Chain A
Amino acid sequence: KNEVEQSPQNLTAQEGEFITINCSYSVGISALHWLQQHPGGGIVSLFMLSSGKKKHGRLIATINIQEKHSSLHITASHPRDSAVYICAVPLYGGSQGNLIFGKGTKLSVKP
């Protein structure tokens, strides 16, 4: 079974700072998910990636399949980016099936 570690657990940044959140896992996969949970509780899927890099606005996700590691970057952070960011991978590896989630990184961006 896969295990997921995220770091840091909590992160406080000033508006405008570049943010990096890390995720590592133990069993080889070919798809990793990054999710965002807003303070109100709603969950949004940010990225599903299997190699290289994906970009959406100020968010960039990278993955290194060989290293079993992914990073989520936020450029020019803003208070509205304050949320919990969660990494998830297939529980038994591969690309599909049930997901196992990291414990999340709580990001707070101060104005």
Chain B
Amino acid sequence: DTAVSQTPKYLVTQMGNDKSIKCEQNLGHDTMYWYKQDSKKFLKIMFSYNNKELIINETVPNRFSPKSPDKAHLNLHINSLELGDSAVYFCASSPEGQGQTFGSGTRLTVV
């Protein structure tokens, strides 16, 4: 009954591949987020999404795209993976205007 669950926990893939990371929340929250934590442990927002709008961090390459089949899911698709995409990706969710609950992270390694 994990509140925010991400799969897979680890993902190793070759450069040029397309991959997806799934995120599901069972908290009934309105907004979901994707964050990237680089090798220096610095967290950066990538996207936030509710049923009204998608807010994209302008620094995110358009190879990254969020897909939300329903309110409880926000999946992250990555096309043409590059070495620099290696990082830990965190999903989170929150009720509008309140604190966020984080998933446990997905460690992506591009080789």
A and B pair up: yes
Residues from chain B with a CB closer than 8 A to the CB of A98 are 33, 45, 48, 55, 57
Give the interface size bracket for A toward B: 20 to 34
Give the total of B residues in contact with A, Cβ under 8 Å: 21
Closest A residue, CB atoms, query B44? A101
Residues from chain A with a CB closer than 8 A to the CB of B41 are 37, 84, 103-104
Residues from chain B with a CB closer than 8 A to the CB of A33 are 99-100
Determine if A44 is an interface residue (Cβ-Cβ < 8 Å). Answer: yes
Closest B residue, CB atoms, query A50? B97
Contact, CB under 8 Å: B100 / A45:
yes
Determine if A27 is an interface residue (Cβ-Cβ < 8 Å). Answer: no
| Interface window among A10-18, A74-82, A89-97 | A89-97
1/0 per position for B70-111, CB-CB distance to A under 8 A? 000000000000000000101010001111111011000000
For B102, give its contact among A45, A48, A103 (CB under 8 Å): A45
Kindly state the separation between the CA atoms of A70 and B92 in the bound complex, as whole angstroms.
23
Determine if B43 is an interface residue (Cβ-Cβ < 8 Å). Answer: yes
Determine if A57 is an interface residue (Cβ-Cβ < 8 Å). Answer: no
For B45, give its contact among A35, A91, A95, A104 (CB under 8 Å): A91
Shortest distance in angstroms between A59's beta carbon and chain B's nearest beta carbon? 14
Determine if A65 is an interface residue (Cβ-Cβ < 8 Å). Answer: no
Kindly state the separation between the CA atoms of A84 and B105 in the bound complex, as whole angstroms.
16
A to B CB contacts below 8 Å, 13 in the list? A31-B97, A33-B100, A41-B104, A42-B102, A43-B90, A43-B92, A43-B102, A45-B99, A48-B98, A48-B99, A91-B45, A98-B33, A101-B44
User: 8 more A-B contacts (CB under 8 A) besides A45-B102, A95-B97, A103-B41?
Assistant: A31-B97, A37-B41, A47-B99, A48-B98, A91-B45, A98-B45, A99-B45, A100-B45
Residues of A within 8 A of B (CB): 31, 33, 35, 37, 41-45, 47-48, 84, 86, 88, 91, 95-101, 103-104
Q: What are the 10 closest A-B residue pairs judged by CB atoms, nearest first?
A: A48-B99, A43-B102, A98-B45, A101-B43, A45-B99, A45-B100, A98-B48, A41-B105, A42-B104, A99-B45
